[in-house]
């Protein structure tokens, strides 16, 4: 395969993420396909998966489409520099438990440490984006930077996804993309789920973060 990697999670409800698509390695917890998105079914706090089919540069990004920003949705997000364990940097939505919020931070051995206060709310059709370049991390809402912070805990790793404790069966995000900063642009992300199972979706091209 080649970067950017993409997945729209259009599989059978209840299927383990790594079974639905072996290009994913679930490094902590349990993640399942549900309604064209991902959830965690066991009410575990730390659920992390990384894309294993490609090698990522240290400077990388991950992004996902917000499909259900409501208080009934699960806490789902993106991750960069995911390690062989659940160690990673994250940016996740928290519409259910957090009162319409979103948080950035790092996960070290199952301890999630948010970096600052909520990064704000999103709406359906927005993109949740996290970039890392050197020691600088930048979460974005679509193409707008929300903040920056520096951290040197993880120097490399893979792009991925996170699902934080909820037990809710309604996914908040859909189409996922991970790639290298400065690399090729994705072939989709026009805001439309094109209904293709785990592969490259074809649509109007947009630029990478």
Q: What is the mean pLDDT of the chain?
A: 83
Nearest in space to 51 (alpha carbons), one of 24, 31, 33, 19: 24
pLDDT, tens digit, for every residue of 90-138?
998 877 655 568 889 999 988 889 998 788 788 889 999 999 999 999 9
Q: Does the pLDDT of residue 205 top 50, yes or no?
A: no
One-letter-per-residue 3-state SS of 38-84:
EECCCCCCEEEEEECCCCCCCCEEEEEEECCCCCCCCEEEEEEEECC
Q: Which domains does the chain have, with CATH numbers?
A: 5-180 (2.60.120.560)
Four-point Cα dihedral 104, 108, 109, 110, nearest 10 = -20
pLDDT, tens digit, for every residue of 56-65?
999 999 999 9
pLDDT, tens digit, for every residue of 19-71?
999 999 999 999 999 989 998 887 677 899 999 999 999 999 999 998 887 77
Contacts of 94 (CB under 8 A, 6+ apart): 75, 100, 101, 102, 103, 118, 164
Contacts of 160 (CB under 8 A, 6+ apart): 24, 27, 48, 49, 50, 51, 62, 78, 79, 80, 82, 88, 178
Using alpha carbons only, what angle is made at residue 4 by residues 69 and 204, rounded to the nearest 5 degrees? Answer: 65
Helix residue spans in the chain (DSSP H) = 17-20
Q: How far apart are CA 124 and CA 202, in angstroms?
A: 21
């Amino acid at each position: 395969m080649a970067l950017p990697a993409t997945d729209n999670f259009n599989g059978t409800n209840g299927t383990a993420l790594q079974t639905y698509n072996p290009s994913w390695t679930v490094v902590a917890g349990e993640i399942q396909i549900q309604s064209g998105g991902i959830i965690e079914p066991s009410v575990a706090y730390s659920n992390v998966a990384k894309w294993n089919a490609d090698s990522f540069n240290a400077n990388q990004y991950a992004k996902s489409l917000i499909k259900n920003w409501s208080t009934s949705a699960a806490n789902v997000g993106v991750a960069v520099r995911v390690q062989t364990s659940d160690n990673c940097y994250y940016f996740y939505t928290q519409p259910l438990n957090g009162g319409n919020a979103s948080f950035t931070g790092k996960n070290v051995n199952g301890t999630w440490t948010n970096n600052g206060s909520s990064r704000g709310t999103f709406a359906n059709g927005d993109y949740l984006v996290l970039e890392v370049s050197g020691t600088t991390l930048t979460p974005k809402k679509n193409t707008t930077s929300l903040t920056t912070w520096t951290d040197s805990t993880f120097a490399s790793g893979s792009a991925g996804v996170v699902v934080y404790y909820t037990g809710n069966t309604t996914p908040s995000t859909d189409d996922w993309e991970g790639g290298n900063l400065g690399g090729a642009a994705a072939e989709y992300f026009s805001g439309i789920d094109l209904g293709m199972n785990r592969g490259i979706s074809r649509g109007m091209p947009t630029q990478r973060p």
